[in-house]
Structures are given as C-alpha cells and as structure tokens.
RNA sequence: GGAGGGGUGCCUGAGUGGUUGAAAGGGCCGGUCUCGAAAACCGGUGUACCGCAUCGCGGUACCGAGGGUUCGAAUCCCUCCUCCUCCGCCA
C-alpha cells in the first residue's frame, strides 16, 4: 500500500493516478473517504495519547504513594481515567482499521515513462527480437502436438482434477525439468540464490504481496479451515521470506530465484479462455525476486528484463517486449514489462503470447510486509523496494518450444541449449 | 496426534505486578593511552508515530502475535503462531 502521509500530501496526483490506472470508481471514493477519516484520526490520536499520558502518570504515582488514603484516591482516579479512555481508544482502533482497509485498495504510483492508457492495446511495444520462422508444412498448435506425441494429456487431467488440469508425459516431462534446470542455473550465474518454496502460504502474506485470498473475484485457491492459500506464484513466498525484518544496507540487493507450483482459479477468465496450456489452474514457474534500495530498483528492473530476454534468446524463441500501460498494471506494480513469445499455433497464422512479466513494485509490498533496511551510516530505517520477474513459466514456455521447434515429420527438435539437459536431439519419438 | 519446556534489544542472557525501554556480558561506534596496534579504561549504541523553543527535548506505543485481568504487566490469565525435547505415525 501507499504511505498515508504521502497520500495526504499528494491527494490530487494520487487521484489522477487512480484514474490512469483504470480503477473502479469506488476505489477513488475510498481514497477520498480515507483522506477525510485521516483528519478525524489526527485529533483523536492526540486525545488518546494525552489520556494515556495521564493514566501513566497516575499509575506511577500510585506505586510510589505510601499513604493508604491518598493511594485509594489515586486508584479511584485511575479507574475513572481508564473508563473514559476505553471508549476513545475503541473509536481510534476502528478508525485506523477503516483507513487501512481503504488505503490498501489504492494502487501503486506509476513510473513516469509507463504509457498512459486503459487497455492492453495501449501498452507500448519496445522491440521485437528474432524472426518467426516460416513453415513448409501445416502448422500444428501445442494441443495437437501434445496429443499426437503423447506429451500432454488434457482428457485425463480433466477426469482426475477437472478442466484446466493436465498431465505432462514422456519427453514433455524431460522438457519441463530441463527448462527448470536451465533457468535456475542461468540465474545462479547472475547472483541469485536458488530456493524451492512452499506452495502454500498464510493469507496475511498473500495480502502483503497484494493478493486477495478470499472474495468473489479472487484468483486464489484457499484451504478449508486453515488460514492458508495455494500460491499463485512464488512471488508470494519469496517476498514473504523477509517479512517483518530489517536488513543492513550492505546485504542488498538480495536476489532469489524460486521454483514453485502456481495455482490459479482463473475465475472470470472464462470469456477469454485460451486453448491448451495457455491458461491452466496449475503450472510450475521459476521466478526471480529481488529486494533493493530505492535508488537501485530501476536498474534491477532492467536487469530482470535483460535476463528474461537472455533466456528466450538462448532458447531461440522470437519475442517482443511490451512496456505495460497504466490501466493494465496490477495494483502493486510501479512499472511492468512483459515478454510475449511467438506462438506459431496461436490464432490463424501465429500470434505473440505472454510468457514472462517483470514488475518493479517499489515500496508498495514492503510497506505492507514491513521489510525495511538500515541505510549505512544513517539513523532510522527505510522500506526496501521489491521486484519480481518470471524466469520461465513452464506451461507457456512449453507451448513456445513445441510450436516453434515442430518439424514436418511431426516431431520436435530440442533447442540446442537444452540438449545436454535432456540428452535427446529430438522430442516425441517413440 | 499426545506430553513437557521455551520465545526479551545486533548477539548471549537477567528479569514473576510499581520510575524496566528493560541488568550484565559480548559486538559495534567514539574517546583516552600508544610511533602504530593489541590490551586496559571512559562514554555512546532500538524502532515507529506525534508535538515543539528541531542537529536537541517532550509524549505515545512496542519484551513472538492478538485479546483479557489490574490504578499499574516483559512479569498474571486466555487464544494463536513458532522453536526445542520425548512418544506415536509416516514419504
């Protein structure tokens, strides 16, 4: 969430930012309401603190008083002070809660260079890299390929777990594992600490990262009778690792590359349902996460984008880079870049489809998760900046590889960089 | 799942109702001593929020989290989280 002080001091620009971000009107109403409540809060805080000061004073005096009669009088005064304070304190507690609840709905500020716009189409294409290959045979999409080569089994996935689930089989398993290895190794080279995270997390952590565990439009599976949810991304668990800690500046940046399963309900996505592996309820993802000083988050964001590009270049997959527009940014993101890989089997003649995404969340997540650092040689603490980025989302990377590397005989060439990890030059042969 | 024992400041670790935001030691920072260093000695060393006569002073909160008892709680009670030991179960 944003800093209340900042919001109060910059109400107009925060309101404009909400509009640029395409948030519903009731969020803007919440902003205005929070501003009004804050004025109330300020006077109430002073009252409550003054009452508590007086209570402390009386309590201390009582302790020191030896004379029984005077002592009894002080106890009486303490009692009445306590009664009087209780009401005001309750009021303050409610007010604090209400302000926080509204504040949480307000999205992060937006990077000045991010394109302003309301829909996906307003995002700015920064560059295209690689040339989609031309095929001299009818192109198949990954669903057909997966079925023909017995690599992906959606029918059985549906039977066992429901629509949106699938079994990976045979060489698809090797491909999945090889991609994980490939990505993790690359990231280790770049100074990231590898981590395999839990697939479940406390709801408080989900909320800190910016997810809404329960409610109508939640994207999250929650565990019955436990305060836990299945994670939609390792961003949740990686960011949560340092919740409620203070880090020495010398330790920064802290970089993790995490592997987790990701679970998404995809509620409300039915209308734009996508074929095959593109939109599924469960997949595996290798995720980057970094904690930095405010000064260096921009540079880290560029690094993450560069790593993502590096991975897809190494895999030999054409892609384009998008600078995501204000209206399409998630709440915590200050700026976001997406990589869209060329998927020859998508649409009529191939289309770009999102495969990775990297966000600079500035201090939006760290404020809620209470992750601070101690600047070298200074008193006090500041909130760190957090960034996340996909290294490889297995489901979608597999789409890109199967479709781009398909051959006329129906089999799949193994991308060169994966050959040593898979041990086969061709995938899908019986 | 059962039984028991813990969670205190950067670390170790005192503290079972009244000037305790918290002893002591360590670490760290500054100083004295020294050609320099070590040792020794002296001093300092939390965070957030609020106010002000704003390089300092005052107030409020914080001893795992949240409630409760009390004039007053790190200290008593309840719930939860978490760690350790033993038993059971188990990949």
Q: What is the pLDDT of residues A57-81, one digit of tens each?
A: 999 888 888 888 888 888 989 988 8
Mean pLDDT score, A365-385: 87
Instruction: Tell whether A206 and A349 lie within a shared domain.
Output: yes
**pLDDT category, A430, cuts 50, 70, 90?**
confident
Beta carbon of A371 within 7 Å of strand B? no
Residue A268: predicted pLDDT? 60
ipTM for the assembly: 0.85
**In the structure, how far is the CA atom of residue A250 from the C1' atom of nucleotide B30, in angstroms?**
22
**In the structure, how far is the CA atom of residue A172 from the C1' atom of nucleotide B44, in angstroms?**
63
Residue A86: predicted pLDDT? 85
Strand B nucleotides where any atom sits below 7 Å of a protein CB: 18-19, 46-50, 59-61, 67, 70-72
Judge contact between A244 and A290, C-beta under 8 A: no
Residue A269: predicted pLDDT? 61
**In the structure, how far is the CA atom of residue A251 from the C1' atom of nucleotide B38, in angstroms?**
30
Residue A271: predicted pLDDT? 46
Residue A273 has pLDDT above 60, yes or no: no
Instruction: Tell whether A51 and A162 lie within a shared domain.
Output: no
Query: Number of structural domains, chain A?
Result: 2
Instruction: Tell whether A387 and A277 lie within a shared domain.
Output: yes
Beta carbon of A46 within 7 Å of strand B? yes
Beta carbon of A59 within 7 Å of strand B? yes
**From A346, A367, A372, A396, active-site residue:** A396
Q: Domain for residue A115, yes or no?
A: no
Q: What is the pLDDT of residues A186-243, one digit of tens each?
A: 999 999 999 999 999 999 899 889 888 877 678 899 888 788 899 999 999 999 999 8
Task: Tell me, yes or no, if A127 is annotated catalytic.
Answer: no
Task: Tell me, yes or no, if A214 is annotated catalytic.
Answer: no
Task: Tell me, yes or no, if A93 is annotated catalytic.
Answer: no
**In the structure, how far is the CA atom of residue A67 from the C1' atom of nucleotide B69, in angstroms?**
25
Last residue of a domain, one of A77, A103, A129: A103
The CATH number of residue A82's host domain is: 1.10.287
Mean pLDDT score, A138-145: 94
Q: Domain for residue A113, yes or no?
A: no
Instruction: Tell whether A209 and A354 lie within a shared domain.
Output: yes
Residue A216: predicted pLDDT? 67
Instruction: Tell whether A324 and A387 lie within a shared domain.
Output: yes
**In the structure, how far is the CA atom of residue A50 from the C1' atom of nucleotide B2, in angstroms?**
50
Residue A184: predicted pLDDT? 97
Instruction: Tell whether A197 and A330 lie within a shared domain.
Output: yes
Instruction: Tell whether A404 and A345 lie within a shared domain.
Output: yes
Residue A30: predicted pLDDT? 94
Q: Please give the share of chain A, as a percent, with pLDDT higher than 70.
A: 98
Which residue pairs from A53-61 have beta carbons closer than 8 angstroms and sit at least 24 positions apart in sequence? A54/A81, A55/A81, A55/A82, A55/A85
Q: Domain for residue A108, yes or no?
A: no
Residue A272: predicted pLDDT? 44
Beta carbon of A62 within 7 Å of strand B? yes
Instruction: Tell whether A97 and A126 lie within a shared domain.
Output: no
Instruction: Tell whether A125 and A87 lie within a shared domain.
Output: no
Instruction: Tell whether A36 and A158 lie within a shared domain.
Output: no
Mean pLDDT score, A305-315: 97
Last residue of a domain, one of A76, A103, A130: A103
Residue A274: predicted pLDDT? 73
Q: Please give the share of chain A, as a percent, with pLDDT higher than 90.
A: 69
Instruction: Tell whether A282 and A422 lie within a shared domain.
Output: yes
Mean pLDDT score, A381-403: 95
Residue A294: predicted pLDDT? 92
Interatomic CA distance for residues A385 and A255, integer angstroms: 12
**pLDDT category, A266, cuts 50, 70, 90?**
confident
The CATH number of residue A271's host domain is: 3.30.930.10
Q: Domain for residue A200, yes or no?
A: yes
Q: Which of residues 234-293 of A have CB within 7 Å of strand B?
A: none
Residue A359 has pLDDT above 90, yes or no: yes
**pLDDT category, A270, cuts 50, 70, 90?**
low
**In the structure, how far is the CA atom of residue A209 from the C1' atom of nucleotide B82, in angstroms?**
22
**From A33, A54, A275, A279, active-site residue:** A279
3-state SS of chain A is CCCHHHHHHCHHHHHHHHHHCCCCHHHHHHHHHHHHHHHHHHHHHHHHHHHHHHHHHHHHHHHHCCCHHHHHHHHHHHHHHHHHHHHHHHHHHHHHHHHHHHHCCCCCCCCCCCCCCCCHHHCEEEEEECCCCCCCCCCCCHHHHHHHCCCEEHHHHHHHCCCCCCEECCHHHHHHHHHHHHHHHHHHHCCCEEEECCCEEEHHHHHHHCCCCCCCCCCCCECCCCCEEECCCHHHHHHHCCCCEEEEHHHCCEEEEEEEEEECCCCCCHHHCCCHHHCCCEEEEEEEEEEECHHHHHHHHHHHHHHHHHHHHHCCCCEEEEECCHHHCCCCCCEEEEEEEEECCCCCCCEEEEEEEEEECCCHHHHHHCEEEECCCCCCCEECEEEEEEEEEHHHHHHHHHHHCECCCCCEECCHHHHHHHCCCEECCC
Q: Domain for residue A112, yes or no?
A: no
Q: What is the pLDDT of residues A11-42, one digit of tens each?
A: 999 999 999 999 999 999 999 999 999 999 98
Last residue of a domain, one of A103, A130, A150: A103
Beta carbon of A379 within 7 Å of strand B? yes
Domain that holds residue A22: 4-103
Q: What's chain A's length in residues?
A: 430
Q: What is the pLDDT of residues A227-245, one digit of tens each?
A: 889 999 999 999 999 988 8
Q: Domain for residue A305, yes or no?
A: yes
Task: Tell me, yes or no, if A89 is annotated catalytic.
Answer: no
Residue A54 has pLDDT above 70, yes or no: yes
Q: For nucleotide B70, give the residue with the nearest CA to its C1'.
A: A79
Residue A290 has pLDDT above 70, yes or no: yes
Q: Domain for residue A288, yes or no?
A: yes
Residue A298 has pLDDT above 80, yes or no: yes
Q: Domain for residue A110, yes or no?
A: no
Instruction: Tell whether A144 and A256 lie within a shared domain.
Output: yes
Beta carbon of A93 within 7 Å of strand B? yes
């Amino acid at each position: 969430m944003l800093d209340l002080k900042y919001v109060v001091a910059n109400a107009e620009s925060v309101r404009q930012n909400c509009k640029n971000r395409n948030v519903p009107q009731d969020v803007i109403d919440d902003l205005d309401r929070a501003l009004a409540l804050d004025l109330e809060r300020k006077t109430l805080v002073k009252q409550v603190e003054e009452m508590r000061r007086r209570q402390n004073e009386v309590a201390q005096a009582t302790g020191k008083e030896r004379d029984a009669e005077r002592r009894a009088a002080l106890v009486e005064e303490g009692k009445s002070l306590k009664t009087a304070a209780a009401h005001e304190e309750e009021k303050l507690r409610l007010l604090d809660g209400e302000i926080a609840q509204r504040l949480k709905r307000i999205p992060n500020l937006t990077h000045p260079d991010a394109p302003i716009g309301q829909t996906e189409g307003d995002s700015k294409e920064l560059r295209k890299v690689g040339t989609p290959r031309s095929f001299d045979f009818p192109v198949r999409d990954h669903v057909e390929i997966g079925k023909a080569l017995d690599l992906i089994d959606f029918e059985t996935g549906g039977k066992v777990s429901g629509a949106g689930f699938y079994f990976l089989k045979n060489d698809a398993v090797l491909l999945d594992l090889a991609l994980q290895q490939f990505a993790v190794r690359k990231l280790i080279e770049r100074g990231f600490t590898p981590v395999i995270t839990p697939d479940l997390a406390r709801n408080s952590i989900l909320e800190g990262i910016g997810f809404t565990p329960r409610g109508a439009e939640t994207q999250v599976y929650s565990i019955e009778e436990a305060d836990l949810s299945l994670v939609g991304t390792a961003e949740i668990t990686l960011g949560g690792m340092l919740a409620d800690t203070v880090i020495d500046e010398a330790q920064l940046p802290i970089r993790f590359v995490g592997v987790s399963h990701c679970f998404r309900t995809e509620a409300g996505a039915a209308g734009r349902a996508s074929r095959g592996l593109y939109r599924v309820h469960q997949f595996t993802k290798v995720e980057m996460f970094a904690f930095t000083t405010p000064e260096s988050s921009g540079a880290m964001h560029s690094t993450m984008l560069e790593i993502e590009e590096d991975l897809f270049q190494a895999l030999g997959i054409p892609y384009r880079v998008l600078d995501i527009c204000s209206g399409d940014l998630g709440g915590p993101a200050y700026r976001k870049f997406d990589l869209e890989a060329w998927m020859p089997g998508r649409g009529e003649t191939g289309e770009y489809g999102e495969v990775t995404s990297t966000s600079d969340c500035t201090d939006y997540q760290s404020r809620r998760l209470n992750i601070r650092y101690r600047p070298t040689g200074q008193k006090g603490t500041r909130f760190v900046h957090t960034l996340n980025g996909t290294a490889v989302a297995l489901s979608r990377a597999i789409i890109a590889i199967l479709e781009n590397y398909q051959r006329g005989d129906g089999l799949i060439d193994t991308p060169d960089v994966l050959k040593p990890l898979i041990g086969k030059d061709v995938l899908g042969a019986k």
